[in-house]
Amino acid sequence: MGQSQSQADTPPATAEELSKQLAQKFATRCFTPLELYSFRDVFRSLADTSDGVSYLKEDTLTRFLQVPDALGVAPVLFQMASYLGAFPFSAGAPAVLGFEEMIVVVVMLTERYGKVLRGGGKGRNVLLYRSLTVFDRLDGKEVADKGEEGGDKEVVEGEGGEVNGNAKAHVGFAVDQPANDEEGDDDDDGLALSALESLDANDVFKHSDAPPISHCSIPVENFRKIIMLLLLIAPLEASQPFPDYSDRLSGDNLEQLQATADAILSAFVNTESNTGIKIHAWNTVIPASLPNLFNGFSALFSHFLFSTSLDLSKRKPSSPTTTPPISPPTSPPSSPALRRPTTPPPPLPLIPTADAEEAEILDVTLLSQLSFFLPPTTLFHRLRLLYSGGSAGFSMRSFETRVFNWRAPSLLLVSGSRLPAIPEGSNERAFADSLPPKRLPDSTATNPNRLVFGAYIPQTWQQTYKTCLSDPGTILFQLAPTHTIHRSTISTDQLSFTHPPLSHPGISLGSPHPSSKSASGTANPAKLGPVSLHIDASFEFGVFTHDSRGGGAFEPASGPGGGDWQERFAIESLEVWGCGGEEEAEEQRRRWEWEEREAEARRRINFGKGDIEADRALLEMAGIIGGGRSGGSMN
């Protein structure tokens, strides 16, 4: 009984003790011994010490990660890390970034927490949202005023009790619950609960004193800086040395980086009328349109797990006087397989040099934007320019010759400028007459510098005669002036590639298959799908339609990019990029060579040598004559 009484009297673990236990579990289960050894070495080399506590300062952290000063993102990134370092007790944020706190930061940003925590998809998104938010005091004051006017003051005071003689014990708010919560927008404590459950301490969990999430927002300017950083680091690999970003932070490249960041930002909020991003927009846009947005942080913070100062071929004992609370092995494994080369080979170019010089639409920044919703493994170092209208000519035959033999997924990109409301010139009038009357407004009130649309096509291109091609992995998207993603529905009207005499020939995504012209030779206006892209056969004009009611082959967008709009544009550039490596390129080359041999063989057939019967037999075998068809005179 004495032992039971002693256990009962044991005080529960404090938040600080539980945080250290969680860091210990993260370190032993989410890192290999070599990674933990490297992490300790990197932390020791960077940390400042004050009153016996080692920690990382803002400039130290951002200097080690080589975050460009030109972005001005260092304070935002440090705020983010300081919040994550306090996990799972957000009330302790901002945390001092000591050894244990940095372990938590690295585990959360490299998404290794799955080895310890259950679930975490939505919970991590909300955690990242919280790490970037600021408390909107005006919003909180307005809600408090409404609560007092509605007579809620007495109820809250009665429930809250007194603290130091003050009945308002709710962190300065008259009400404790956010007003007008939308379903699914409440704070998600799933990761924090899972963390405490893993420590058998879920009974000590209490909701933090942080402001209700509906009273918080991410400042637009702060998030713009984060997006620009993510665009820079998207191609970064975990063990790859930090690249030189200087060429992307000057001149036209910087303008493109800023424009792309603004396009992505506009998916969350109307930047002209809003100054902050709310949780509802965050929960709506991230999973649907930007599921890979934060992947770059994984490679960036993985650099803590690679110490360039260690000679991993030798055993290096550690000093017992400086061993941190979490004790990794005194020496790393010396297996040659685990050695990190001191001079890694230079990485392959993201886009082959020759293709990059010829490309008019795709560049490294746009490629990074694509990686935010397409698998990066199909993009970086694996794209090949199959067709460019600027060099190969704007014709369907040229397109067909260069693209149809590609036996792997491909990317269609088209850019242009908005057509005037009143057509100018005969070609514009003919294009306008081929479409239904325009009843939807433009996507933006201002005329954008450039419109960019495209599609990810998982299947092989081919000419369609009666029905559309269909694949559930097909994605239609807009990259500028707003970032919107439209995934496939169960409809089959996804992709058609048609020549005359079908009506409205060209390339269509999301519209019904074109029909044959009537006996009189006239055609009804093109049938455009609710969410669709149509490029005419001359590759001169295009139209992108977005009807928020949906019901077609592709899902409509939500958020500021949603609504009802239609963009009619003059095509300036058109490209198709193959997603594949050497094997796919070799297969395309073999097919080209086979077609070349077949064409040459057909050219060498020479009739009229005098053997009429032999020539006739050859034509019959080819199906040109015979069966009641004379095929004309042989003489």
Contact indicator for 475, 485 with CB cutoff of 8 Å: yes
What count of other Cβ atoms lies within 10 Å of the Cβ of residue 58? 15
Helices (H) and strands (E) in the chain, counts: 21, 15
Per-residue pLDDT tens digits for 187-205: 556 677 777 677 766 555 5
Q: How far is CA 447 from the centre of its chain?
A: 26
Contacts of 131 by beta carbon, 8 Å cutoff, 6+ apart: 79, 80, 81, 83, 84
Per-residue pLDDT tens digits for 386-402: 999 999 999 999 999 99
pLDDT at residue 244 in the model: 87
pLDDT at residue 251 in the model: 92
pLDDT at residue 522 in the model: 62
Query: Which residues of the chain fall short of a pLDDT of 70?
Result: 1-11, 119-121, 136-190, 196, 200-211, 310-348, 517-523, 581-635
Q: What is the pTM of this model?
A: 0.81
- Residue 37, classed as helix, strand or coil, is helix
pLDDT at residue 441 in the model: 94
Here the contacts of 42-47 (C-beta below 8 Å, separation 24 or greater) are 42/303, 42/304, 42/305, 42/306, 42/307, 43/99, 43/102, 43/304, 43/324, 44/322, 45/307, 45/309, 47/99
The DSSP code for 181 is: P
State percent of the chain over pLDDT 90: 53
pLDDT at residue 321 in the model: 43
Contact indicator for 415, 572 with CB cutoff of 8 Å: yes
- With b for 16 or more beta-carbon neighbours within 10 A and e for fewer, the 470-494 pattern comes to ebeebbbbbbbbbbbbbbbbebebb
* Length reported for the chain: 635
